[in-house]
Structure 1
């Protein structure tokens, strides 16, 4: 692990430049450019408020109005979008950067870090939009918002481990991209984004926590909207699990990268 983080520190400038390039390339050629990173979550928030709040008249609980429901929904959605952006890019991550594979001195493992970092940038842009909208609707912001980076850090490690695993697997099995697309869509319904865990039958409520998104979505929502302090003991356990997943993902990547050049 020390060698791993030492490598990241050594290549920190490369990671920063590639992350910036990844973010800018997404909006390259558009009129508004980087401003789309702000417009997209704003549009999403408006659309979900309209359809779920006004058209379907969905309520999260007894006291929430339409705008409050949109905030609760969007708090979970930005966590899911962070996951979805990483996973949808992962299968083609090495394939789309094949020119780096034959460069012996290039640290291929940083490509996954760049992928997660650019997705993390979009997460915090959406988080900022949520805070602005929350301040307008609720006329206050909970101080527990400060816990959100602490909650997202272990989740980012899990996504980093999964990205290493999926991107290396995608080199050998091109069907992985199709499979991941289906799984990402399924995860939107298997995670408590559009519904609270309490809405599920008591017999299956504990099963949904097998989903790694469930704990983070629930804790982020509590910190952002309800002002609850995160469950620190569970967060520590989640942190240890995330380190294990990140390490295993990197181990798999390093073992399989030797055949990348032959396959590509």
Structure 2
């Protein structure tokens, strides 16, 4: 609770740091913040062009000739938030080593700033995707509001994993090299670029051991199929997110002093 009170006390610093990070990242670019949107959208275009003809007939429930692109964008929106938070978290303590050594610096603000920056980027990507959805003739219902709790849970879950990996990477630098590779593997083991229906039934149970597949599946239910996601999964994800972020905070608190020495 002391950590959360610290975050509240330094809330103005966190907000201003998020704003400055977003401005500085694109300040020298002519397109500015559009690069944060163009990169994932270019992935959508590539996958859609290559795979849409193969999978377009295997997406029942979406009455649109661009069904595959819609399904893909929904899954990539969830994956992008998860992936970016993890990648930015890997080196967040290493990159801020000088600040970590200052006794009065609120160390808990570092992961909060990382999470906030990536959440804002994801919101901008979501708004860009909404425009594309409407251009493709895909509408929405009030079920889209379910995206709010799922996106917040996804942020907490991702930040929890990022916090754990960020701490471990201070002591074992190989983690920073291995995790990007594992993320690429995990992407293809998550039903994002393909529907669950093409996975043989005897292997579908393996998805239960992939927490991110619950999030991508919920995003696809909400955005692609305009359906209410599985509420029991929401409770499951809430439990998983609390456990992960709780362990991440515990590890961070216990290792803070040792991290300062190593850095």
Q: Same fold (TM over 0.5)?
A: yes
Q: Deviation at 1:92? A: 1.2
1:89-100 equivalence runs, <5 A: 89-100=88-99
Question: In the TM superposition, what are the counterparts of 1:35-46 in structure 2 within 5 Å?
Answer: 35-46=34-45
**Unmatched tracts of structure 2, length 5 or more:** none
* Offset, 1:113: 1.5
How far did residue 17 of structure 1 move? 1.4
RMSD across aligned positions (CA): 1.9
- List alignment gaps of at least 5 residues for structure 1: none
Q: Go from structure 1 to structure 2 and tell me whether the alpha carbon gap of 1:246 and 1:61 turns closer, same or farther (over 3 Å shift).
A: same
How far off its partner does 1:261 sit?
A: 2.2
Could you tell me which residue of structure 2 aligns to residue 10 of structure 1? 9
Three-state SS of the structure 1 residue aligned to 2:136 is helix
Q: Tell me the distance in 2 between the aligned counterparts of 1:65 and 1:57.
A: 15
Q: CA deviation at 1:4?
A: 3.5
- Distance (whole Å) between structure 1 residues aligned to residue 44 and residue 197 of structure 2: 24
Q: Determine which of 59, 71, 76 is the counterpart of 1:61.
A: 59
CA distance in 2, matches of 1:3, 1:102: 20
- Structure 2 CA distance for aligned equivalents of residues 188 and 227 of structure 1: 23
Is the CA contact 1:49–1:66 (under 8 Å) kept in the aligned structure 2? Answer: no
In the other structure, the counterpart of 1:243 is 242
Tell me the alpha carbon deviations over residues 38-67 of structure 1, each in whole angstroms, 9 at most, x when there is no partner: 4334433333332322xx543242566552
CA distance in 2, matches of 1:139, 1:255: 49
The CA deviation at 1:197 is 1.9
Could you tell me how far apart the structure 1 residues matched to 2:87 and 2:65 are? Answer: 31
CA contact (8 A) 1:131 1:141 kept: no
Name the SS of the counterpart of 2:106 in structure 1: coil
Moved more, 129-138 or 176-185: 129-138
- Partners of 1:15 and 1:188 lie apart in 2 by 31
Quote the Cα distance in structure 2 between the aligned partners of 1:57 and 1:196: 11
Q: Residues of 2 paired with 1:69 and 1:58: CA distance? A: 7
Give the whole-Å Cα distance in 1 for the aligned partners of 2:2 and 2:137. Answer: 46
What are the Cα deviations for residues 19-42 of structure 1, in whole angstroms up to 9, with x where unaligned?
122222322311121232343344
Contact 2:64 2:137 in 1 (8 A): no
CA distance in 2, matches of 1:210, 1:85: 21
Secondary structure of the residue aligned to 1:30 is coil
**Cα gap change, 1:120 to 1:204, in 2 (>3 Å):** same
> In the aligned structure 1, how far is the partner of 2:199 from the partner of 2:22?
38
Q: Counterpart of 1:118?
A: 117
Could you say which residue in structure 1 is the equivalent of 2:155?
156
Mapped contact 1:86–1:163 kept (Cα < 8 A)? yes
Give the TM-score, by structure 2 length: 0.92
User: What corresponds to 2:165 in structure 1?
Assistant: 166
Q: Structure 1-normalised TM-score?
A: 0.91
User: Secondary structure at 1:233's aligned position in 2?
Assistant: helix
For 1:186, the equivalent position in structure 2 comes to: 185
